[in-house]
């Protein structure tokens, strides 16, 4: 393959350099396009064919169903690592030594208290508030109590911001859930591991000691790892573009949480459970819902199916599906919803509509079944996605700022009115 791409516009031809990544992905570098063509731009709704950046954080191959964080395969990480190790690798580039991991955890614990005035903000929300709206607000509110923005040129300042948000975010996650449940806002214990502490903060009852169930701890570890990062998805692109204006890390993360909330993105895990519950309430008639999903006149989509990049099985869905069996068996939970999900999957995998469009189960299809078995309320599912995605968002924000990337500001093709004179109101 030559190192350039040729473009012909009218009787003029142009050449643009090709960019090749370490996994042999190829892009056309068009950063001079508008200048050399005197104003011609590209347009690509949803950026289906457009790269926003070069990144070393995550590699995924949608056709082959491959996903690696910093070169480590998601299968090995899910099997052999814990969430904090993976968070460290995503943010700092390599899996940590034991000393590095211990220091990372110690430093996180030292920054895991949030200003008590945050409780006043939590109290101000109605119990009916959706947890993703609460979490996004509380994350943004952190800027009020931590006003100095990150000096990314300072390794120490960047590190301190990382451990600060890694320490405070799980507290906000737990308080978001406990607010809805009318439970006191608590802290965990520095004696516990990162994920154990999340569970204690979420589930501890005020009148009894909380004992971590290792099955639940291992399941949550795995789920958080599987949600760790996913290259330039909608919410990560949001974190990067908000951060490109040099808005602070916490403000950028708050924007990412709002993007993740959408049912086409992270909100799908909640939508999947609601869909499966509706099918169950409707007598388990999966065929009716398959027909709705294929009906162009029906806005219903098979939630948890399809993906912008994966045109094969989402490797995370495979791991989560296997884990769902184990976790429910280990917990002695018999959830008929799991059978409905399996039935729906089998029907879709054999249906021409889904096969032709390469629509396979994605990360959200089975994750909610495990969350529910763990006792997590359905409205908290996307909050758990955000907890897992936090290190990925941090890693991508850090890469963007250290890479001194320009402010994100796409162009457009105007299709509105041509120039016209102002008309006085009495003459309109």
* Residues annotated as part of the active site: 307, 364
141, 276, 303, 373: which one contacts ligand SDX (CB under 6 A)?
303
**Sign, Cα dihedral of 383, 385, 388, 390:** negative
318 binds ligand SDX (CB under 6 A): no
Name the burial class of residue 214, with classes exposed (0-12), middle (13-18) and buried (19+) by CB atoms within 10 angstroms of its CB. exposed
Tokens of 327: 């976790």
Return the residues of window 201-240 that contact ligand SDX according to CB under 6 A.
230, 233
Task: Count other C-beta atoms under 10 Å from residue 241's C-beta.
Answer: 21
Binding span for ligand SDX by CB under 6 A among 128-136, 190-198, 295-303, 376-384: 295-303
Min dist. Cβ of residue 252 to ligand SDX (A): 16
Q: In which order are the strands placed within the sheet that holds 58-61?
A: 58-61, 66-69, 72-73
Tokens of 203: 């589930």
Reference 135, options 171, 181, 93; nearest CA is 171
Reference 275, options 327, 212, 340; nearest CA is 340
Query: Is 280:340 a contact under the CB 8 Å cutoff?
Result: yes
Question: In the complex with ligand SDX, which residue's Cβ is closer, 132 or 293?
Answer: 293
168, 179, 222, 265: which one contacts ligand SDX (CB under 6 A)?
265
Question: In the complex with ligand SDX, which residue's Cβ is closer, 104 or 305?
Answer: 305
306, 315, 368, 388: which one contacts ligand SDX (CB under 6 A)?
306
- Helices (runs of H) and strands (runs of E) counted in the chain: 18, 6
Collect contacts of 293-297 with beta carbons under 8 A, ≥24 apart.
293/353, 294/351, 294/353
Binding span for ligand SDX by CB under 6 A among 100-108, 154-162, 297-305, 317-325: 297-305
Look at residue 411 and give its three-state secondary structure. Answer: coil
**What is the per-residue binding string for ligand SDX in 362-391, x denoting contact by CB under 6 A?**
xxx---------------------------
Site residue total, ligand SDX (CB under 6 A): 22
Tokens of 157: 């300042």
Question: In the complex with ligand SDX, which residue's Cβ is closer, 64 or 120?
Answer: 64
103, 111, 308, 342: which one contacts ligand SDX (CB under 6 A)?
308
Distance (Å, rounded) from C-alpha 1 to C-alpha 19?
12
Question: In the complex with ligand SDX, which residue's Cβ is closer, 158 or 226?
Answer: 226
Distance (Å, rounded) from C-alpha 267 to C-alpha 286?
22
Task: Count other C-beta atoms under 10 Å from residue 313's C-beta.
Answer: 16
Binding span for ligand SDX by CB under 6 A among 68-76, 91-99, 302-310, 416-424: 302-310
**What is the per-residue binding string for ligand SDX in 93-112, x denoting contact by CB under 6 A?**
--------------------
Question: In the complex with ligand SDX, which residue's Cβ is closer, 95 or 302?
Answer: 302
12, 120, 287, 357: which one contacts ligand SDX (CB under 6 A)?
357
Residues forming contacts to ligand SDX in the complex (CB under 6 A) are 46, 230, 233, 264-266, 268, 293, 301-309, 357, 359, 362-364
């Amino acid at each position: 393959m030559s190192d350039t791409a040729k473009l012909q516009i009218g009787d003029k031809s142009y050449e643009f350099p090709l960019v090749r990544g370490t996994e042999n992905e190829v892009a056309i570098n068009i950063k001079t396009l508008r200048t050399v063509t005197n104003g011609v731009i590209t347009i690509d709704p949803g950026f289906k064919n457009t790269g926003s950046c070069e990144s070393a954080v995550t590699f995924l191959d949608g056709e082959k169903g491959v996903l690696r964080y910093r070169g480590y395969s998601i299968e090995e990480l899910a099997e052999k690592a814990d969430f904090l190790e993976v968070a460290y690798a995503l943010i700092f580039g390599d899996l940590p030594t034991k000393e590095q991991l211990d220091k990372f955890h110690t430093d996180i614990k030292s920054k895991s208290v949030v200003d008590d005035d945050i409780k006043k903000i939590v109290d101000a929300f109605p119990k009916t508030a959706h947890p993703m709206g609460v979490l996004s607000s509380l994350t943004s509110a952190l800027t009020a109590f931590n006003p100095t923005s990150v000096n990314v040129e300072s390794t120490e300042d960047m590190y301190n911001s990382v451990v600060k948000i890694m320490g405070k975010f799980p507290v906000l996650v737990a308080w978001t859930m406990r607010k809805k449940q009318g439970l006191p806002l608590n802290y965990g214990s520095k004696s516990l591991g990162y994920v154990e502490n999340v569970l204690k903060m979420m589930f501890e009852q005020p009148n009894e000691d909380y004992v971590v169930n290792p099955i639940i701890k291992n399941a949550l570890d795995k789920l958080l790892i599987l949600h760790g990062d996913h290259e330039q998805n909608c919410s990560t692109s949001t974190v990067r573009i908000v951060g490109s204006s040099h808005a602070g890390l916490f403000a950028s993360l708050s924007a990412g949480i709002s993007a993740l909330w959408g049912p086409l993105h992270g909100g799908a895990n909640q939508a999947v459970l609601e869909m499966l519950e509706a099918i169950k309430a409707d007598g388990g008639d999966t065929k009716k819902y398959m027909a709705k999903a294929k009906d162009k006149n029906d806005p219903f989509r098979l939630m948890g199916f399809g993906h912008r990049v994966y045109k094969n099985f989402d490797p995370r869905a495979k791991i989560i599906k296997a884990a769902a069996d184990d976790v429910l068996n280990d917990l002695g939970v018999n959830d008929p919803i799991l059978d409905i999900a399996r039935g729906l999957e089998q029907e879709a995998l054999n249906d021409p509509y889904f096969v032709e469009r390469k629509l396979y189960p994605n990360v959200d299809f089975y994750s909610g079944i495990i969350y529910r078995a763990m006792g997590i309320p359905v409205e908290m599912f996307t909050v758990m996605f955000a907890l897992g995605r936090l290190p990925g968002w941090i890693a991508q924000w850090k890469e963007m700022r250290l890479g001194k990337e320009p402010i994100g500001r796409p162009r457009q093709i105007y299709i509105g009115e041509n120039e016209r004179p102002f008309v006085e109101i009495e003459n309109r």
